[in-house]
Chain A
Amino acid sequence: MAYSEKVIDHYEHPRNVGALDKDDSGVGTGMVGAPACGDVMRLQIRVNGQGIIEDAKFKTYGCGSAIASSSLVTEWVKGKTLDEAMAIKNSQIAEELELPPVKIHCSVLAEDAIKAAVEDYRKKQGGAPVAAQPEMAGAQAAH
């Protein structure tokens, strides 16, 4: 399979691999999986008092595209607000990494992971904004 140079770069030099303390109240953890490929992805964010994502880590077991997608997302979300992070679309990830159509679902996984991480953080903070709920409901309905 022909990976783009950007995918290979992220695959060989993944950014922000690792873990944050999932029990920390300032950390949001998103875990998603794609059974078709057996991919498992964990994406975590640390949010500061101003609601800005100041750190992000990921761990992905899967193909090069899934690793590159999550690596790219951790780079993108740093310095962003939660709403900005929620606005990241898989099409932007796919475009940046020049993913072929058969690998688009890897970018969808990364989008789901960051959304799940923001959701988890918001839930920990107690007041999950109403607007965020339907997206999770939509993601669940896809089962």
Chain B
Amino acid sequence: MVDSCFRCGAELGAPPALCASCGAVQPFRADLSLYAVAGLPETYDLDVQTLRTQVLALQKGLHPDRFANAEPAARRYSLEWSTRLNEALAILRDPLRRADYLLQRQGVDALDERVKVADPELLMTQMTYRERLEDLAAARDLSGMEALRQEVDTAVTGVVQRLRGLLGVLPCVEPEAAGAALRELQFLDKLLGEIDRSEEHLQNA
């Protein structure tokens, strides 16, 4: 689909936010995916550096400061595109939120708060991690916490690798398995947050 500039009619690139010909900021398109807004193909396996470079370059052209003296509509469009670009960077840079976004796009809400996990092996692993963290905190063992963090980081890498496989072709043909992997990643992510908090607590005490 080719979009054209609402002002001069010239063909627009991807994303269709700014006209390369007349420089007009285009009406915001709420229908575009976060990938389309960033002008990137919809893939899970995404190079975060490319994403960041791309978003920053687009932000430069669309920043509201550039339109401070423009007509109200242009000011609003630039703000809307900018806000959405920030959202794209925040969500797509994170392997967890990126997977969640892609699954949501196909109607799978794997992290809905009503979704519960009964997989005993996963729960046992998570319970054991938490117990170890609790013991390390009680023993004020910072290096032990660092070792635990590395272990959890390795586990995260493994799950992201699995998600890469499952989300290699979109829409995902195994949404159940992808959802389970995403939930595991979410547990690990929360655990890393707990490790951060425990370490901070020890360092400030």
Contact = CB atoms under 8 A, between A and B. Distances in A.
Interface of A: 31-38, 40, 42, 59, 61, 105, 108-109, 112, 116, 139-140, 142-143
Contacts of A108: 114, 116
Interface in B162-181: 176, 179-180
A31 B127 contact: yes
Contact of B114 (A38, A59, A105): A105
Main DSSP-derived SS at the B contact region: helix
A31 B187 CA distance: 14
Interface residues of B, number: 30
Nearest to B134: A61
A31 B116 contact: no
A6 B118 CA distance: 28
A34 B187 CA distance: 9
A42 B127 contact: yes
Interface of B: 110-118, 120, 122-124, 126-127, 130-131, 176, 179-180, 182-184, 186-187, 189-191, 193-194
Given A32-B123, A33-B122, A38 B187 contact: yes
Contacts, number: 77
Contacts of A34: 113, 115-117
Nearest to B114: A105
Contact of B186 (A36, A61, A105, A143): A36
A139 B115 CA distance: 9
B130 A36 contact: no
Contact of B116 (A33, A38, A42): A33
Contact of B183 (A31, A35, A61, A142): A35
Nearest to B112: A36
A38 to B, nearest CB: 3
Contacts of A116: 118
B127 A35 contact: no
B126 A40 contact: yes
